[in-house]
Amino acid sequence: MSENIASVTESNFQSEVLQSEIPTIVDFWAEWCMPCKAMAPILEELAVKYQGQVNFVKLNVDDNRNIASQYQIRGIPTLILFKGGSPLDQLVGLGQKAQIDDLVKKAL
């Protein structure tokens, strides 16, 4: 991924997302998804902006189908904001920077 956005899988989702001390944005994505790739630089920029306040992670839906199914991911990209181990809000589709920033601010 990048130095600011980690990759999570079914094996570490619980520890990295659900048990995180700080809010976490999970980017549900796939390698073939062009809107997912288009949104990546925005997420990278926001990960730097909110470093230490909010974690940003990516979960590949093709490789982690159980988690994607558990959170009823029907379209990608989907961002879900987790706080205290529970989903707080989500954004489906290619989000603009202001929309994603608003989503992050709900956790602060």
Catalytic residue annotation: 33, 36
Q: How far is CA 97 from the centre of its chain?
A: 14
- 33: Cα within 13 Å, side-chain hemisphere: 21
Asked if 77 and 27 touch (Cβ cutoff 8 Å), the reply is yes
